[in-house]
Amino acid sequence: MTKVLLVDKVNVIAKEMLEKEGFEVDLLNDLSEDEKLNILPDYQAVVIRSSTNLTQKYLEAGSQLKLIIRAGEGTDNIDKKFAAEKGMIVENTPGQNSHAVAELALAHMFGLARHLQKADATTRAGQWEKKKLKGTELLKKTMGLLGGGKIARHLAVMAKGIGMEVIVHDPYLKSEDIEFPLVEFEELLKKSDYLSIHVPIVDSTRGMIGEAELAKMKKSAHIINCARGGIVDEQALADAVKGGVIKGAAIDVYTKEPAVADNPLIGVDNIHLTPHLGASSDEAQVNCAVAAADQIIAYFKNNEVLNKVN
């Protein structure tokens, strides 16, 4: 019988679906790294989210693994090259949490525009800061999208719905591929009032937004990153906001997670921080779990590979 391990609080619907198909399934949350290492040899398939890093050490331990599924889109927490060398297939569940991430990015824009975090904190502290917290409207502002994939397109439609202008930079797209204007990277930086990042973390995007790029932006501009940590240089961003180079930022993802007290973004006024909440909606987690279960069933029952990324 094929054994499947679900970790990182993968929604229980995946377990229910797989057990109906005759799989033996363990849903084990809050395992330590040593515990994961010790039990991996027992399984032919594993489903993870962002909390588990399947490095070479773990893949070597999982000697029976045939299928690794990331319940989500980003797979930078899996050593895909080594997995391929070991004959292990890595899949993800693209598009299942796209709307959730787009909504969080939009929520961050509203939060920045209307100083919602500071308004909440000062009001709770018994202060009435109405005059100091005058905000700006998103209407007629320009939202720049770095990347033009599913999440970016959801966000673009939402932004258009509230009257924002939308521009996109994505070197892999042609004008006929997307309904919003494509611009060069430098134009995106110069024109964006809100620059929302939607690219994966790869060699070409690591540190893509640094001191030089921030200096090209409007002093009134904001950056939103709900994609992956490392795309934005965290120290450069902290310095830019503190120095008035740009106005603010909202960050959901970090170079090192969980973010700890020495992260340069923590404590900087007008940088809003959330703990990697992009895909953390009830609906998105159900969607990802269902997709992961479908992919396991397809592979082991029908010898079908649906979303291979290695």
Write the pLDDT tens digit of every residue in 195-212: 999 999 999 999 999 999
Are residue 170 and residue 227 in the same domain, yes or no? yes
154 is catalytic: no
Are residue 157 and residue 244 in the same domain, yes or no? yes
213 is catalytic: no
Are residue 180 and residue 287 in the same domain, yes or no? no
Are residue 247 and residue 289 in the same domain, yes or no? no
Position 44 in a domain: yes
Are residue 219 and residue 168 in the same domain, yes or no? yes
Cα 86 to Cα 155: distance, rounded to the nearest angstrom:
38
Are residue 256 and residue 158 in the same domain, yes or no? yes
Select which of 49, 169, 198, 276 is catalytic: 276
Compute CA 58 distance to the chain's CA centroid, rounded to the nearest angstrom.
23
228 is catalytic: yes
The CATH number of whichever domain residue 228 belongs to comes to: 3.40.50.720
Are residue 159 and residue 269 in the same domain, yes or no? yes
**3-state helix/strand/coil string of 239-301:** HHHHCCCCCEEEECCCCCCCCCCCCCCCCCCCEEECCCCCCCCHHHHHHHHHHHHHHHHHHHH
Instruction: Tell me: pLDDT of 164 over 90.
Output: yes
Select which of 115, 222, 228, 272 is catalytic: 228
Domain, as residue range, for 50: 3-96+282-302
Position 307 in a domain: no
At residue 191's C-alpha, the angle toward residues 109 and 153, to 5°, is 55
Question: Which of the two residues, 74 and 253, has the higher pLDDT score?
Answer: 253
Split into its structural domains, the chain has a count of 2
Position 63 in a domain: yes
> Considering the entire predicted model, what is its pTM?
0.89
Are residue 108 and residue 208 in the same domain, yes or no? yes
Per-residue confidence at 1, pLDDT binned at 50, 70, 90? confident
Select which of 24, 129, 187, 257 is catalytic: 257
